[in-house]
Amino acid sequence: MPELLYINYSADYSIVVIFYISYLASFIESGCSGYRRASPLNSVHYRSFKFLHFGKLFMALKATILKATVNVADMDRQVFLDTVLTVAQHPSETEQRMMLRLLAWICHADERLIFTKGLSADDEPEIWRHNDHNGIELWVEMGLPDEKRLRKACHQSKQVVLYAYNDRAGRVWWQQNKEKLSGHKNLTVLFLDDVQLKQLASMSARNMQLQATIQDGIIWLSDNQTNFELQFEPWQTVGE
């Protein structure tokens, strides 16, 4: 029978790769008379089918659903909120990025603040908030997007916040884009370094109990086992 190889891409989910697909091809080729063992790396059938089958398999993977019970005490905004959040982690999304999304929600905690389809929708941010007239009040982006995307967001939303990460690529990206981005007066760019991001990712679990206190831009985050302090590096703030 065909064998399966499990490759772990993160702590929460595994991608199943059909590694010995050549067995099935050999079975068909031999007129269903039996299996002929062949090296999958040298098999013509494997080379012919691997991209097709791997692509379909990856597309068929579903998001990992996580639950977070969150208590937020934001002293800077005078917001105090208890809620349960459902976070869908895309198959291609790392734990670091997913947890940064969750932290971004905590930093803007509001009953109207919702997660979008994220990586599954090119025309939506990661998080947004609408007003009573369905206008966009807050647009939250992640990573290192193209300047054109941020420009479009700034035209559509009253406020745009970008949460950037990745020490090496992020700092290079900022040097290349900061002059152009400085023209967007409703754009805030915040950066979280790799050390803090790793700490944040360590809290990832299917069911999380998080307490967050925010004061003077410093975030104290804790769960049932750990607690630490986080602070973003402000690369650009509104009004500069």
pLDDT at 240: 52
Rounded distance, CA 234 to CA 107, Å?
14
For residue 105, the domain's CATH number is: 3.10.640.10
**Which residue stretches of 34-188 are H helix?**
44-60, 95-107, 147-156, 167-181
Domain count along the chain: 2
Residues in the chain: 240
In whole angstroms, what is the distance from residue 23 CA to residue 182 CA?
58
Same domain, 143 and 56: no
Q: Are residues 75 and 28 in the same domain?
A: no
Q: How far is CA 169 from CA 110, 124, 231, in A?
A: 31, 23, 19
pTM: 0.75
CA-based nearest residue to 102, from 78, 85, 117? 85
Domain-terminating residue out of 32, 60, 88: 60
208: nearest Cα among 37, 3, 12, 41: 12
Q: What is the DSSP string of 211-232?
A: EEEEETTEEEEE-SS-EEEEE-
Q: In a structure prediction context, what are the per-residue pLDDT tens digits for the chain, which is 240 residues long?
A: 444 433 333 333 333 333 333 444 444 344 443 433 344 434 444 333 344 444 444 445 788 999 999 999 999 999 999 999 999 998 889 999 999 999 999 999 999 999 997 666 677 999 999 999 999 999 999 999 999 999 999 999 999 999 999 999 999 999 999 999 999 999 999 999 999 999 999 999 999 999 999 999 999 999 999 999 999 999 999 855
Task: For residues 78 and 164, state if they share a domain.
Answer: yes
**Looking up tokens 């002293």, which residue turns up?**
75
> What is the domain range of residue 53?
5-60
74 and 43 within one domain: no
The tokens of 190 are what?
């915040």
**Are 68 and 185 part of one and the same domain?**
yes
Q: How many CB atoms lie within 10 A of CB 217?
A: 12
The pLDDT of residue 135 is: 95
Which residue from 225, 207, 194 is spatially nearest to 64, judged by alpha carbons? 207
pLDDT, residue 31, reads 45
Residues 19 and 85 reside in one and the same domain: no
Do 150 and 201 belong together in one domain?
Answer: yes
| Same domain flag for 44 and 74 | no
Give the Cα separation of 86 and 102 in Å (integer). 10
Of 28, 43, 60, which marks where a domain is finished? Answer: 60
Encoded amino acid at 237, one letter: T
Indicate the residue type of 154. Answer: C
Whether residues 105 and 220 share a domain: the answer is yes
Q: Do both 50 and 159 map to the same domain?
A: no
| 60, 77, 96 - which closes a domain | 60
| pLDDT for position 238 | 87
Do 35 and 104 lie in one domain? The reply is: no
Whether residue 75 contacts residue 214, with contact meaning beta carbons closer than 8 Å, is answered with yes
C-beta neighbour count of 132 within 10 angstroms:
6
- Least Cα distance to 12 among 61, 72, 85 occurs for 61
Nearest to 101 by CA among 66, 146, 53: 66
Shared domain check, 15 and 44: yes
